Structure 1
């Protein structure tokens, strides 16, 4: 078979959305950026632990600094984005600024002036720019896909996230081993530049900017309050976010400090276990179509946090510890993809275009806003009762998020509602 024939065959088998040039460029930029984010997700705390030698409380403050912008800025950012329009240009500017900020950390390390304060300032600034990027991204996404493509589009973007879960920690751990944790952050800086370049190459027709007026800042919150579906989904995912971020704040410190795993081995086992996320991205769309979006969301709400319980159970010989981490990551990866795809598709269908950035901002204010609180609580809890007990507490509490769905219409919702 000739080379052109092979490429035509592969193109014919690609998902329909990836055969559309604008979505393909958008998706490519998102994929590269998510990969870089996962490298940083491991490299930043490892820089704090291995280079700056911080403890559990300081780790909590570091996570708090990165997540606080979602609580402070999501509401005003959503109102500003809807009023301003030109979301794609805002996203490009945010990518370029984040690239410069991330590059400042390896530069400071190279000159021997990296401090914990700089780490906190950079992750706070990057988190602030991520708020602006994400509230705009919600509108850009629906400008590129039709309502019938919401599940397929979310499956592809979640597949990118799954790929990042698989490859990012492994690459991050390897880069930390070969270079140093701060130098590994150059990968994230480059990924932001790649995202900006791909966004600059598309020109979707965005919804028009909204008119100003009273109540713009709280319009998204009011819409969520009036929607039984969104209220329940938000309560569920915010509960899971609160306790999984308490968990994630401590897991690197626990693995390296108490279990004695080195950075490269930790990155490899987390990356290998995250194959579950990749599998989840492939099959979740089929599950949603087979059992309905609401039941699929409920299953994901349990299947994501439940397997985390295996991590504080880990003990004994190193192979058993690694097996517990692997199974936990694999099973949780399946669950989080099902939860993300179902919840993301439901939000895309329910939120009207005229309010999309504001509702997204309001949703992020709560869902992302609890994350710095969870990170801070995780740090204090780890110091107060020990890392293993804190991990147990956080993992068990996260599974309670599903209780929000039980009295709501979510479990009875099989097909995506129509709004716009």
Structure 2
């Protein structure tokens, strides 16, 4: 098999990566400029500031699942992505224009934020299946790492650039830079020439298709574990972030400049993580890299809860933990995206991604509210310990799933010792069997061992389905030396 061209030499990937880098940088500018405009120029109340903050993530709850269903229905994703960026540019450009005309109000800012958030929800739903047309399967972890690098660079440089622009041209006009970044992103995406190969899903009604996406995640042991882990991490991470700034100021007595520096350190950690993740994935695989990353997540929570002593010592300790956590977060995100791309059935890819985003993004608001309430009742430091203990729950969720170390090998039921389980090959056969015959399948890695394969397939199907199937042997379309055990439809499996 011919090796694909390195990503750095692929024009279409460079265009897509540049589009994300430009757009993310502009978004980081508006992340500071919008609340500054509301608070300092328009006199927004705390309640209005809360609504303004929620307006950006609310669209993921309202239209995220529908966007995933629509993405699966369409053969061409690029035109919708370009339209989303163009609409976002127009919405952001309306803010300085309204300020000049004397029409700018807090509800206007809320409406613009909601519109841009809606475009972001649709854009994200369409980007995931679009990536499969631009990047070869073997290069997707590296491509996702590149996107994480762009995001980390935006975190490092965006806030300082935003502060400079606000000082030079005032907050409303700083958002013109974000409008330009959206336009630049639209132009770069429009310039991609890779043919879109997505096969549209059959239309069976919006809610039926949404339920299929939800069932695909809930019924798939790997996707279910990833979704549950993301919910746990985001819930307790959001609770932690809701209190971190006030905790750092009032309990740790850190200057505001050092708190901002910790954010930059997190971005640097993200850059380092993006740089090493793709290489490490080639050595250990996405599954193992992901389960190792989960082990690191409690570190930042525990470090913050334990921090004490002189300012320089607290900052040094938290900088080290923040750097390591930034690397782990990017490694986890890259591997999670690669595994979802690998595991999700192609006709359901948009809906699976939308379901993951819907659940993991929607829980952010709940985590923030819970953190604030618990902080009022229990105090700041105890809540940090609660968050640390909560994030630890992500470890058994992943390690007990088919991604965990225990699933790395299985006993050969025919008495041949322990055989490494090549999950990636097995799941490809699964998907091919589903497409060809509508059934679920497992495989025997030994060449042409038909008699032993049947026992192996029965054992694995009983383990995952909870009942013994009547198997029919089929040729594996991925490898002529292997066979597929065809059983009942995947949707009936109790996983």
Q: Same fold (TM over 0.5)?
A: yes
Of structures 1 and 2, the one scoring higher in RCO (CA 8 A, sep 6+) is 1
Structure 1 residues 330 and 235 mapped into 2: Cα distance closer, same or farther (>3 Å)?
same
String of CA shifts for 1:226-283, please: whole Å, max 9, x gaps: 2100000110011111222233344456557885744x66544422442111111111
1:84 is matched with 74
Q: Any unmatched runs of 5+ in structure 2?
A: 409-421, 433-495
Moved more, 309-318 or 135-144: 309-318
2:241 is matched with 248
Give me the CA root mean square deviation: 3.2
Distance 2:268 2:325 in 1: 10
- The answer on 1:144 being equivalent to 2:134 is yes
- The answer on 1:326 being equivalent to 2:319 is yes
String of CA shifts for 1:69-119, please: whole Å, max 9, x gaps: 112211111112222332111111111111222334455556676554444
Distance 2:51 2:246 in 1: 14
- Residue-pair matches, total: 405
- The answer on 1:68 being equivalent to 2:58 is yes
Distance 2:99 2:302 in 1: 36
- The answer on 1:212 being equivalent to 2:203 is yes
String of CA shifts for 1:324-352, please: whole Å, max 9, x gaps: 55334312211111101111110111112
Structure 1 residues 394 and 56 mapped into 2: Cα distance closer, same or farther (>3 Å)?
farther
String of CA shifts for 1:148-192, please: whole Å, max 9, x gaps: 112222222222222223222333344445555554433332221
Query: What SS is found at the alignment partner of 2:400?
Result: coil
CA contact (8 A) 1:48 1:54 kept: yes
Distance 2:295 2:56 in 1: 26
Distance 2:309 2:173 in 1: 33
1:123 is matched with 113
1:189 is matched with 179
2:461 is matched with none
Distance 2:43 2:301 in 1: 26
- The answer on 1:283 being equivalent to 2:265 is no
Q: 1:403 Cα shift?
A: 2.8
Query: What SS is found at the alignment partner of 1:405?
Result: helix
Compute the TM-score of the two structures, normalised by the length of structure 1.
Answer: 0.84
1:94 is matched with 84
String of CA shifts for 1:295-327, please: whole Å, max 9, x gaps: 211222232453144445566765455445533
**1:132-171 map, 5 Å:** 132-171=122-161
Distance 1:385 1:114 in 2: 40
- The answer on 1:353 being equivalent to 2:343 is no
**1:409-420 map, 5 Å:** 409-411=402-404, 412=407, 416=424, 417-418=427-428, 419=431
1:10 is matched with none
Distance 1:56 1:393 in 2: 27
Structure 1 residues 320 and 120 mapped into 2: Cα distance closer, same or farther (>3 Å)?
farther
CA contact (8 A) 2:297 2:391 kept: no
1:377 corresponds to which of 361, 365, 370: 370
**1:265-344 map, 5 Å:** 266-304=259-297, 306-311=299-304, 319-320=312-313, 322-323=315-316, 326-344=319-337
Moved more, 147-156 or 325-334: 325-334
Structure 1 residues 256 and 63 mapped into 2: Cα distance closer, same or farther (>3 Å)?
farther
Moved more, 117-126 or 226-235: 117-126
Distance 2:106 2:369 in 1: 16
Distance 1:386 1:109 in 2: 41
Moved more, 126-135 or 248-257: 248-257
Structure of higher CA gyration radius? 2
Structure 1 residues 356 and 74 mapped into 2: Cα distance closer, same or farther (>3 Å)?
same
